[in-house]
Structure 1
């Protein structure tokens, strides 16, 4: 092994510090990125502050311009206060100075509106003769008690004053929004700005707004709203062009850096901007400004919205140069330091390679470290060069040795490895030493001091290699996994063997059968499959209980094992089904299969002694041969199942070989099963009725409902053929309910037309009787839904139902009788019930099976049995119906024995409903004559 290792170069171990520079680089680059982003953000914030400064400068200029207009109006107000009356000439002279170009940008006109109250003549008595009868000449659009005609206006062409030619005046209070502004100005004694409106000057239409200031009588301002309204004299108002006003106001702030738009606070949604610079910046939605903000300007009772957006010239001043420089510097520093770290790491690795610590100290430290990590497992330390091994105390105790009883030699361990495991152990160890595997791990058995074997999980790794890469030292642990192996064995046992009998289960059986078939293919021999189903097991299980049924299954398994050779196999598939595999059968040894089958039948026919009872059972056996009967496992199982079914059909306690005819029968049954489903859907089923005669009067009192099937291509199919199929496929549920509904309708009809006491007997299958669906009292619910009398129906059940130890059967029979239905026990004497069951259950009718009636003659055993049954039934309060009456002698003997009712071919075969009705009328008429 060491010679083999000399041919290999060992790869040097990689040091952990090799990845530290990468960690530093991965940490430094994100930090550099964050610093770069922060610097970019700071540059952006600085530019945003500049934007705020310019925008707020514009708002301040607008407010300052508004104050100049306010001071102008206050000056005019003072002019009015200084005189008892201001004439138009005086007004024009004073105002003309204010209208000088560039004095107040945007000022279009200044006017004076006189307050006039039609109920107070003194409000206009002081006006000149030219403006007398104002109320008559203003021609207002609506009748009001007060007006504000514009009497002075400069220039005269202003729209605030009407043509003197028409002798009409423009009412300043004519429009409601303006009226509210004037009223608010008068109430507050302050300048108020009106909403923006359109005015026409020549051919031009411009947006403008008004500023008005109240003038009071007696040169007083008064101290409250009431006094102000009483002493209002008029208003001085200025008309201002919006665009010119804002253009001149914002002009000092116009530097090509920001674009501005002003929106009227009251109507910005309707009219849009009343002023804007750099119109494309605001109208083109595809142009997105880097900075934008909206400011509200509140002044003189009104609001404007100032929108500011950055222009390309302003945005170009956003400087990311410093941030980019910092980012590049950070990247440079990160890579530089990473390179330095790589150099340092290389030097560290070189230093570690040159400096070796004390070998013995390292060995001791690693040994105890590994012992601690072993969590209580045994530890071993192998010096490969000296071939010496240090075994820990726990390692030795695990195998039952004292510390001084095992030598520190690798051979001491090797000789304790189980011979069957030795090769795999050495292969795993060699793979680790040569470097093919990093870790050694192997499960094997080792011999203890007392000679027993323990399962050990042995793990280890090479911890030291020389300069050429050859192993010098290896350490590892021993763990006792015997308990784990036992658990795994138990799990495997549970998954592959039947927990009750200990035989292989279905899974294990299929695996074993597949192995035998593969072996048979190679050898050219045959494999026989014997499939058996226990006859009578269900009766034992139902009468004696499931615990005794389990005992019977165990005893059966033991007997089957005794019937087999050691190389053959027995398995339990489930329930009471067992299967036997006979292998390596030559062409001349097929009779051995039959011998085994006979032996099984003979063995199982012997009585079984259970806990407190003796049980008798038998078996129905099917036999199939590979490869004669099938080549695939599933096909072979189908074949042997069909053969077993054939034995069942023969009455059980026999065996049958699979034949092609069985396959045909199985296919025929499957086809009938499919056709039966269609028969239900396409109304191919119908009912016939066999009359039941009162032996003492000869009258027809009852009829038995019999289900018939007329196949569209096969013709009439016997109930003996399709009823078992219906029970196997559970179609009997649907068929049984249909029969009950039809029979119930017919019984109601006959009770109306034949006899009010007429009854129809209906057979209820044991499968349907015991089904979960029937727990809801299906037939009872049907009878209630049809509002039919329960007395019209007699429910026929078989003796087998009485074997059920539970109270379910008794409760269901009681439920039938509670709504008036009667119960008949069919085929009495052929089943498994004892006479004690007749006392346990309330039965109305016993039906003697036709097998007892067929051979009735004077002094015969069958006659004695019939007489005993009739006498017993009468003593228990039951009526008796005899089936299968075919001769007058049989009828006479039954009448003499006291039988109550009879049915059979002597009276009539099964008839259609129409024919039965005619037969009953005829028979009852004949009975009256007799």
Structure 2
């Protein structure tokens, strides 16, 4: 029996949990080693002292009274309390219960877990979460969380509002996303997602269009990552974000358009014309014919009627040229009053037919009587029949023929 008591006494002293034994007046009977460490009290000093002489709850007097009452009167009691220990504050979880037998009959055993660090980590995580939520909300980032096994998906309100919906209008499953996806983007998206599911990529990332509530298409950047797999390695859960890139896409498209188009007429510009000519150099689209055109007397129009009228002549010419060409033909404004046309798979006879159509459409424009002076344009053409020919030389020859016609008219 004595041996058993020694074992229990040794266990009491060395348990990693702080334990304080008190009587019904909360006078300390005994503390174990861990309690001495946590609260900075010693066995000798604490003897015959009261619990709250050493450990001060940071609560109001009434709450302190209730705490004492609960510890003393309840058979079992559990509570989380902040204690003032020296200059520090400790957050502890206490569990008290009555001891009815053993060496400490009719005393109260108080088990105390110091959870200060855990609470600190919880606060830090809460702060991080709150900051993240503020950032997500401020940046209007949509969040999705997909359970691949059940196909349930959590969408946040930004995800819905990005597409013009209220969150309550959307079903919380993967079909919501699939129904809104542009059919032309599906194959590319599924390939990227499958690569990520198979572990070939660190993250899943794609750009595609989703249908908004108003019926328009909006460009989205979608970034996600698998965060959970089952025992076989199959994907269980993937989480990601939606970022609205529609304005950037439209701006990029506008920049791309302006980089290869003439601002005044909407025709291609010289940059695109040269690029297309270089691409055709080693193609199989021969014979290739080039037509060069130059508006007559545009300087006189500008001097007599102003540059806005001159611009009107340029736009009228551009419209007549476009109307005269086939869908695959290329027409560009390559100078102030100069235009160039690329006719792939077109021999010299067909090129002359195109020139005739241009002259006819210019004549029709003049018959409207909207211009103060007749609109005329000098045209020259040249054709190359095989790849060994020099397209730059072809261009120069067409240009010379155009100037010969202009000189003849003068």
| TM-score bin, normalised by smaller chain | 0.5 to 0.7
Aligned partners of 1:378 and 1:394 also within 8 Å: yes
Distance change >3 Å, CA 642–CA 544, structure 1 → 2: same
Match 2:328 to one of 567, 579, 582 = 567
Give, in whole Å, the separation in 1 of the partners of 2:227 and 2:129: 10
Distance change >3 Å, CA 422–CA 396, structure 1 → 2: same
Match 1:478 to one of 242, 252, 276 = 242
Aligned to 1:530: 291
Looking at CA atoms only, which structure, 1 or 2, has the larger radius of gyration? 1
Give, in angstroms, the shift of residue 490 of structure 1: 1.2
Aligned to 1:548: 309
Give, in angstroms, the shift of residue 385 of structure 1: 2.8
Match 2:172 to one of 408, 414, 429 = 408
**3-state DSSP of counterpart to 1:615:** coil
Give, in whole Å, the separation in 1 of the partners of 2:358 and 2:171: 60
Give, in angstroms, the shift of residue 576 of structure 1: 0.5
Q: Does 1:626 align with 2:384?
A: yes
Aligned partners of 1:380 and 1:392 also within 8 Å: yes
Q: Does 1:616 align with 2:378?
A: no
**3-state DSSP of counterpart to 2:343:** strand
Give, in whole Å, the separation in 1 of the partners of 2:133 and 2:230: 24
Give, in angstroms, the shift of residue 455 of structure 1: 0.8
Query: Aligned runs of 1:141-156 on 2, under 5 Å?
Result: none
Give, in whole Å, the separation in 1 of the partners of 2:200 and 2:212: 31
Aligned to 2:183: 419
Give, in angstroms, the shift of residue 536 of structure 1: 1.3
Aligned partners of 1:527 and 1:581 also within 8 Å: yes
Give, in angstroms, the shift of residue 408 of structure 1: 1.7
Aligned to 2:350: 592
Give, in whole Å, the separation in 2 of the partners of 1:638 and 1:628: 17
Distance change >3 Å, CA 608–CA 549, structure 1 → 2: farther
Aligned to 1:451: 215
> What TM-score, normalized by structure 2, do the two folds share?
0.62
Match 1:648 to one of 398, 406, 409 = 406
The C-alpha deviation readout for 1:392-412, integer Å capped at 9, x for no partner, is 122122222232322222232
Query: Aligned runs of 1:760-799 on 2, under 5 Å?
Result: none
Aligned partners of 1:623 and 1:644 also within 8 Å: yes
The C-alpha deviation readout for 1:679-704, integer Å capped at 9, x for no partner, is xxxxxxxxxxxxxxxxxxxxxxxxxx
Give, in whole Å, the separation in 2 of the partners of 1:485 and 1:387: 30
Aligned partners of 1:570 and 1:579 also within 8 Å: yes
Aligned to 2:153: 389
Match 2:361 to one of 603, 627, 644 = 603
> What TM-score, normalized by structure 1, do the two folds share?
0.29
Aligned to 1:380: 144
Query: Aligned runs of 1:12-51 on 2, under 5 Å?
Result: none
Match 1:504 to one of 255, 268, 291 = 268
Give, in whole Å, the separation in 2 of the partners of 1:365 and 1:472: 28
Give, in whole Å, the separation in 2 of the partners of 1:385 and 1:595: 65
**3-state DSSP of counterpart to 2:192:** helix
| Structure whose residues are more often strand by fraction | 2
The C-alpha deviation readout for 1:560-583, integer Å capped at 9, x for no partner, is 111112232221101110112223
**3-state DSSP of counterpart to 1:459:** strand
Query: Aligned runs of 1:86-235 on 2, under 5 Å?
Result: none
Aligned partners of 2:142 and 2:243 also within 8 Å: yes
Query: Aligned runs of 1:241-260 on 2, under 5 Å?
Result: none
Match 2:254 to one of 444, 465, 490 = 490
Give, in whole Å, the separation in 2 of the partners of 1:471 and 1:365: 30
Distance change >3 Å, CA 461–CA 368, structure 1 → 2: farther
Unpaired stretches in structure 1, ≥5 consecutive residues: 1-363, 653-930
Aligned partners of 1:533 and 1:644 also within 8 Å: yes
Distance change >3 Å, CA 401–CA 368, structure 1 → 2: farther
Give, in angstroms, the shift of residue 466 of structure 1: 4.7
Q: Does 1:558 align with 2:316?
A: no
Task: Let me know the Cα RMSD of the aligned residues.
Answer: 3.1
Aligned partners of 1:607 and 1:615 also within 8 Å: no
Aligned partners of 1:496 and 1:505 also within 8 Å: yes
Aligned partners of 1:370 and 1:476 also within 8 Å: no
Higher relative contact order (CA 8 A, sep 6+): 2
Aligned partners of 1:455 and 1:480 also within 8 Å: yes
The C-alpha deviation readout for 1:160-209, integer Å capped at 9, x for no partner, is xxxxxxxxxxxxxxxxxxxxxxxxxxxxxxxxxxxxxxxxxxxxxxxxxx
Give, in angstroms, the shift of residue 602 of structure 1: 3.8
Distance change >3 Å, CA 444–CA 383, structure 1 → 2: same
Distance change >3 Å, CA 370–CA 624, structure 1 → 2: farther
Give, in whole Å, the separation in 2 of the partners of 1:593 and 1:509: 18
**3-state DSSP of counterpart to 1:444:** strand
Aligned partners of 1:534 and 1:577 also within 8 Å: yes
Aligned partners of 2:281 and 2:387 also within 8 Å: no
Distance change >3 Å, CA 616–CA 532, structure 1 → 2: same
Aligned partners of 2:384 and 2:391 also within 8 Å: no
Aligned partners of 2:282 and 2:387 also within 8 Å: no
Aligned partners of 2:290 and 2:383 also within 8 Å: yes
Give, in whole Å, the separation in 2 of the partners of 1:370 and 1:464: 21
